[in-house]
């Protein structure tokens, strides 16, 4: 995968447009009727002249439900490093999203360690 897009979450959180460039891989296989993926990405967040490098990796589990919906469970770790500051905005946790047959998504569970978003936003704003 090689993709660039506006990161809506960080753009809203930080109050500046944050562009994200992802480069990485997905590996997929089927086990016991459910699809298991593993993602491994390098990412660059950019806001104006500021860039922050990060890595994200972990497994995803996709299960088809009897009603035609899908349940996506993502377990992962994201680490962002800013030279001279260290790790900012880390995340380690688990999320569960149900995807309805019409494609709509509902986040039903999110838990884990998240911290330093205020520092990450300050860096991205150039403060």
Structural domain boundaries enclosing 87: 2-124
Kindly tell me if the per-residue pLDDT of 49 is higher than 90: yes
Q: Domain total for the chain?
A: 1
Q: Please report the pLDDT score of residue 121 as a whole number.
A: 92
Nearest by Cα to 26 from 58, 53, 49, 3:
58
Write the pLDDT tens digit of every residue in 59-104.
888 888 899 998 888 888 888 888 888 888 777 899 898 988 988 8
Residue 80: burial class (beta carbons within 10 Å; 0-12, 13-18, 19+): buried
Are the beta carbons of 93 and 111 closer than 8 angstroms? yes
Q: Please report the pLDDT score of residue 33 as a whole number.
A: 66
Q: Please report the pLDDT score of residue 66 as a whole number.
A: 93
Average pLDDT (43-69) is 89
pTM: 0.70
Are the beta carbons of 96 and 70 closer than 8 angstroms? no
Are the beta carbons of 66 and 80 closer than 8 angstroms? no
The token duo for 66 is 């009897």
Q: pLDDT confidence of 1, banded at 50, 70, 90? A: confident
Are the beta carbons of 6 and 18 closer than 8 angstroms? yes
């Amino acid at each position: 995968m090689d993709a660039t897009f506006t990161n809506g979450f960080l753009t809203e959180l930080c109050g500046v447009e944050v562009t994200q460039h992802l480069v990485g891989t997905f590996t997929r296989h089927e086990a016991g009727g459910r699809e298991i993926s593993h993602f491994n990405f390098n990412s660059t967040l950019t806001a104006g002249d500021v860039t922050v490098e990060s890595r994200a990796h972990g497994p995803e589990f996709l299960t088809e439900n009897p009603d035609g919906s899908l349940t996506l469970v993502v377990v992962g770790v994201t680490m962002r490093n800013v030279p001279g500051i260290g790790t900012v905005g880390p995340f380690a946790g688990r999320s569960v999203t149900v995807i309805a047959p019409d494609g709509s998504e509902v986040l039903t569970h999110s838990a884990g360690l998240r911290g330093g978003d205020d520092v990450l936003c300050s860096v991205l704003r150039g403060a």
